Structure 1
């Protein structure tokens, strides 16, 4: 006779997992050792293969020595931002007193705590990268402060983790080896295919911008160990069967059970439980019943078995499946339309049937069970249950974002209240750094659809939500919004400016310029029109080519030169005018005066600051760039240091912070501090790489870094960088800072590719002259063309280029430009005249902030004089600014004089 389940509970041993478990225990030992080392371990396998059981055993083995945090992805929760991260961190953080909690977050509390539901948002828009950086800081500090009990983090069912949690984890994994932190993660092996079938909420194709498969692959690339769990062998299955049913179980019965389950541990245990429930004798004659019995454990068979428990139990199970995880029996009863006693009875029967476990909250016994129950719900009933769940969550005061995962599953029904709820949810998602979740809510709101008078506004909100993640979608939605009636004047202006911004981010500067110009033409005079006109001037000036550059510059000068900078609009126009005048090589003193008027007491005024969204960060950036190229890198540095501080405080850790570091690198490069320049430029490039590829900030950072490396004499590194980032034609539609073709020509010349350098530099000069851009510090093509032409034996071309460079320098008037032009002319002069020209160049460059160019001039002058003292001075100057190759040249020349 078989024992009854009550007399002898079914054992669930961990079979054939000794190597996998041993690997985890070794990792825990290393974590707890005298020199703690962490890392990432990944277990993957089919559903029911035993991943959860393995993680449970690792938790049990680690609990005495480590602090264990755990979280689980859920199919019905993939649309809930930071769901898994909250599971992981909240148990540890909620026990902390507020002062210690704030120390853990540091200056990122206001930005990151709302994502963890620890504090309300402080603003309408949180930068997703800034939130991820804040999570990095919190987890790092938690790991470092677990004295004697290092941190072990367990993540189960990672294939169903929400996109925000999985994206953070994939980025954070690279830091694990340096931290006293071990992450053990489990996911299904077929997750790499990212299958999305059936009606489950987690199976919508748009549930993640970046598919789970991609993120899991990235995690796998960083894991110290990845193990694919295998099915149980026939021998292990036989041991499991006999431990459950008795050692006299027939071998044919064991073999058939193994064949039916395929060695899947979950299906094996479930089938054994049903054998015991039905008191089937484990003999050869009973083996034929196993296949039908096994089918009842999954899919339609499980649904049929559920119906046998009665309609009340079925409805309660459906309600629980809609709620997903942490199931409240009270809420489930409300959704199922039953009283407390009936609900308690249903929960009891479902526990006995191994569908549910726990009391309050309830959980499904296995994700396979939850999926089967959810997919068994008739579509109309499922939709109704989600609708009821949404209002139950709302009535409980949990907010629109919490209700939105249910509203996403409700069929459109022309309900303005649903639209309002989804719009509120989108705002809540944006405020915690989850723009993808906001996008899903607004896309669903459009399907409802909104009332006609609100339709354009929802499109506008959708375009704004997609701006951080999908410029193409932003363009599509904002154009649609602008084509419809219903947008107020202020929203039309803002929508147009955001449309232009998205077009610019998509390398469509001409279209961006046309968009703001068209809207400006239909906007009556006033602040809105001025904003649009300023945007038009900006995008035109940023273009690598334009139709009427001289006319645009003239119109801008007429509009801005007389302004005093009394409000934001005037300051924006002055910034644009200063930038344009700098590019054109106009009188540098006038450029500096324009910059000064664009600021308030030397700093960006309120409304046109680094984080102000109406005019954009470009406004103060243009002032700083103009300062940098008019021999005021000190003022540029002050502005750009303020930019870095502003972005770090605000948590803007993406392209804005990358650009700020790049600009700081520019300021140091113009001051001749090549070491600091390289440091900031590499950091800017690193930050840009986290955001994407081929961005405008990539072009600028790479261009400046190539120029800096060439100045330091590291030509091979500069070439490797240029090749890695495809620096060269085809150039983007936006200009590169400094002039990209000029810097490419400089690199080619440093590589002794003289003919290619001449061609590149000559083409660069022709394009710039046609646009009236004559600043030789921004675009040093003429200086390098003189040297390249002489190397090619073309004195006439060199002479023409030197004369043009001198004329432009005289007009511009900075000591840097004049000194560099004189150095070039000295290359063509007779010895006596060359010494005179170089002496004048040294005086100009000594008066300039350009220490590197000053060191070059001193070296050239010292060689012309054959003066050891000046060579020694040149070597010292070159060493100070980090020009290693120039130092070596000066020291070698000095050695010849000894």
Structure 2
């Protein structure tokens, strides 16, 4: 069924009616690729057959333009064997001599019997016209010729001969011409066009026409958004649309608004094959320009394209006009390809040698015209190595551009290609390896650390090696293979003691000291290996805060002091704030020891001190950050949310970070501690997927680097109802960490979680012993949230006035604390204790508890707590999304299609659909359009 062609069909109907009445005419249907010329010819033929016409069909071919009378032979071929001999004899009376070849059993078309006389050709043309006229006297005739531009000259002469004479006959001609080809401008094609009475140039489909095609394909009306997407992608080209709809239908999709993204992202392979085949008929010069444009970014189509295609300005303009007429370029300003598959077809139409030569010319032209290095590098990575130093320079510059825009994977591709141009040894290779390690740091740490080790082995001076080594954060190096750690230690020794150095070398030495200190801190195998002496002291803020390197070392040393219980919360908060005040709010801190400051201030009970700083980092740098860097920032924000009591928001932010590419194994310390702490406080086993296994080693020789996995395993067991296994996991892991020197009760609150589990199991003695220990540790630490939690736990375990006094003290200690959830817990426990003795006070405390919990995004559920002893003491709002669901939701909210999400997650589009459906149900939203707002609310107000 033809759609949106009412005017054209009406004209063809009038043409046939007139021809039947003895007023024949010729009609030319022209237009670009895929516009539906052939469809109109078929419609005319079908109409003619239905109304009593004899229909003679033929089609030109670019491979048969030298076959004399080839198209004429096709037109009359239908008569051979189907027309009675008597009828043929009557039609050929007096012209048989000049038409015998037309009806031979096995005619040789190239050897047509054209008399050698000067007027021989004219006699054949006239004889064929006489034959046609006699046929039309018996029955009106319609000649249908597709691809007229590829018709042989003799057939064109005859068609023009007929077109000039049919105005008083019962013969009509309908011929189609593909615009934009050299043959379309042939003298005889133009002559036929001038002699034609009618010209049709069908336009692109309107929305109503697209609606009709959608209904025809799917048997139902398409949603407006679906139809709008079809129009955007195909531009209303009927052929493009037909391929798209066929592809979607084959995938089992329906014309719904939810499938609009699938329409936009679809790249039908059959459309690519169809386009590639059609390119064979392209004129050489426009095709050369189109291929150059296919390799160039659209911003370079005006200048560099002319150079790459080796055209002068006038020829370039002619070629652009031809490409528009052919249907490969739009008439917009600036122009663009009429479909994304046009670019693909153009690339695939070239041989390997043609493509390599054109890519090299393209890269050189872009580089010479001052375009971005990435645009030139995109060509170089597709050609064989051996292009010389200029290629290495371009690829290195492109890698820097990609890193600055937050695309480390692209940077790594450029650098890997540059390494193929570099010598096997030497400084040039070392620099490339170092740059590659920095690029891979964000998405492939094992590879980054391998390349770091290779670079350290090749760089000539200790200072150069140190500059590369400090590009990796202490937490990342803590998960490195032994050979990398050993080389970093060797670099520090080669560079020397910071006290003996000055200037940049002293800064590097201080940064290396920070990393060595952290490496020793994370080595739980031998507590005696920890650094002692001056290097282990909490730094004096007046002597180690002047330079960036001093502040990084101070942050690492302070973290160690907090972890091992060698400082107090007030002192840690004071020093942490002093460091933070001197540091700019930029994302560069994420790959240094300064990232430890956020967790320091969080566990010190002053998260509000760091909140504005993190907000500035997100505001200024988020758009330029890589996915992995964003995940690290999510971890820091989650620390602040957890310390503020907003556990649902913290959980959501951790899962968002994990969906962005983070893993505990990758970034170590603060991330592991955060996940473990959240798991302990929420008993949420889903967080286990954010950490690597507790034991074993990786394939690259590095330890798994997750000493807190046992705490998360306890949360998983508690969630499954196995409380004894849960408490065993948690206590065993906690004791092991304490033996290794990790003593801070706020950083990893394992005792409070074990107290809660023991109590639910009825093991009140063990719960009381752990609560006493926790109180002692909390008093030594000195942070109100930790002290208040310990007092509350003791008060809940202690009966009578003593227990009430402990709960009242907990509420007093927590009054004004930034951990609103711990304040809410204290009020709730106090309300429970006062109920029946002082109902008025109990109601007041319960109101306070509920108000604070609401701010935190949780709700108390005392009944559930009593009914389900294995569950958490509160219900966390937020939908309970799994990690894969969070990832799919986040990518969908950013505008990615289901196919793009599937490619990113290495799953099928169907799996993505199922995940998103679960997300919509859990969050109570209508669909993709509500995701961004729902995820924002889930994360909390400090997004």
Fold shared per TM-score above 0.5? yes
How much has 1:571 moved relative to structure 2? Answer: 2.0
Unaligned runs of 5+ in 1: 32-37, 44-50, 60-155, 158-183, 194-215, 231-261, 271-296, 893-898
**Residues 872, 481 of structure 1: alpha-carbon distance in 2 compared, 3 angstrom cutoff:** same
Aligned to 2:100: none
Distance between the aligned counterparts of 2:661 and 2:375, measured in 1?
28
Matched, 1:622 2:596: yes
Aligned to 2:757: 788
Aligned to 1:478: 452
Matched, 1:55 2:231: no
Matched, 1:524 2:496: yes
Q: Deviations over 1:812-868 (max 9, x none)?
A: 344444444444445665645444544544544447555544454455556656333
Distance between the aligned counterparts of 1:815 and 1:702, measured in 2?
22
Matched, 1:422 2:395: yes
* Of 7-16 and 802-811, the range deviating more from structure 2: 7-16
Q: Deviations over 1:436-469 (max 9, x none)?
A: 4433333332222369442211222233333334
State the secondary structure of the residue aligned to 1:56. coil
**Residues 762, 10 of structure 1: alpha-carbon distance in 2 compared, 3 angstrom cutoff:** same
Matched, 1:603 2:580: yes
**Residues 864, 362 of structure 1: alpha-carbon distance in 2 compared, 3 angstrom cutoff:** closer
**Residues 782, 594 of structure 1: alpha-carbon distance in 2 compared, 3 angstrom cutoff:** closer
Matched, 1:535 2:515: yes
Contact 2:462 2:494 in 1 (8 A): no
Distance between the aligned counterparts of 1:686 and 1:57, measured in 2?
41
Contact 2:377 2:395 in 1 (8 A): yes
Contact 1:24 1:58 in 2 (8 A): no
How much has 1:419 moved relative to structure 2? Answer: 1.8
Taking the TM superposition and a 5 Å limit, the aligned residue runs for 1:498-897 are 498=471, 503=476, 508=480, 513-514=485-486, 516-525=488-497, 526-541=506-521, 543=522, 546-549=524-527, 551-552=529-530, 554-555=532-533, 558-562=536-540, 564=542, 565-588=545-568, 591-600=569-578, 603-606=580-583, 609-611=584-586, 613=588, 616=590, 619-630=593-604, 632-633=605-606, 636-652=607-623, 654-660=627-633, 662-671=635-644, 674=645, 676-679=646-649, 681-683=651-653, 685-686=655-656, 688-691=658-661, 710=682, 718=684, 721-722=686-687, 733-734=704-705, 741-742=710-711, 745=714, 753-794=722-763, 797-826=766-795, 831=800, 833-846=802-815, 849-857=818-826, 860=829, 866-882=837-853, 886=860, 888=862
Match of 1:298 among 277, 296, 299: 277
Taking the TM superposition and a 5 Å limit, the aligned residue runs for 1:81-96 are none
Contact 1:328 1:360 in 2 (8 A): no
Contact 2:590 2:633 in 1 (8 A): no
Contact 1:575 1:619 in 2 (8 A): yes
How much has 1:368 moved relative to structure 2? Answer: 8.2
Q: Deviations over 1:55-103 (max 9, x none)?
A: 33599xxxxxxxxxxxxxxxxxxxxxxxxxxxxxxxxxxxxxxxxxxxx
Contact 2:226 2:260 in 1 (8 A): yes
How much has 1:533 moved relative to structure 2? Answer: 1.8
Distance between the aligned counterparts of 1:30 and 1:780, measured in 2?
54
Distance between the aligned counterparts of 2:851 and 2:828, measured in 1?
14
Taking the TM superposition and a 5 Å limit, the aligned residue runs for 1:362-441 are 379-380=352-353, 382-413=355-386, 415-441=388-414
Aligned to 1:107: none
Distance between the aligned counterparts of 2:863 and 2:248, measured in 1?
60
How much has 1:771 moved relative to structure 2? Answer: 1.5
How much has 1:427 moved relative to structure 2? Answer: 2.6
Distance between the aligned counterparts of 2:332 and 2:785, measured in 1?
77
Contact 2:694 2:706 in 1 (8 A): no
Contact 2:471 2:591 in 1 (8 A): no
How much has 1:394 moved relative to structure 2? Answer: 3.2
Matched, 1:223 2:201: no
Distance between the aligned counterparts of 2:845 and 2:481, measured in 1?
44
Distance between the aligned counterparts of 2:748 and 2:476, measured in 1?
26
How much has 1:875 moved relative to structure 2? Answer: 0.7
Contact 1:508 1:733 in 2 (8 A): no
* Of 761-770 and 685-694, the range deviating more from structure 2: 685-694
State the secondary structure of the residue aligned to 1:298. helix
Contact 1:325 1:363 in 2 (8 A): yes
Aligned to 1:70: none
**TM-align CA RMSD:** 5.6
Contact 1:24 1:41 in 2 (8 A): no
Distance between the aligned counterparts of 1:267 and 1:558, measured in 2?
68
Contact 2:409 2:440 in 1 (8 A): yes
Instruction: Kindly indicate whether structure 1 or structure 2 has the higher relative contact order, using CA contacts under 8 Å at least 6 residues apart.
Output: 1
Distance between the aligned counterparts of 1:40 and 1:514, measured in 2?
61
Contact 1:394 1:400 in 2 (8 A): yes
Contact 1:326 1:363 in 2 (8 A): no
How much has 1:534 moved relative to structure 2? Answer: 0.5
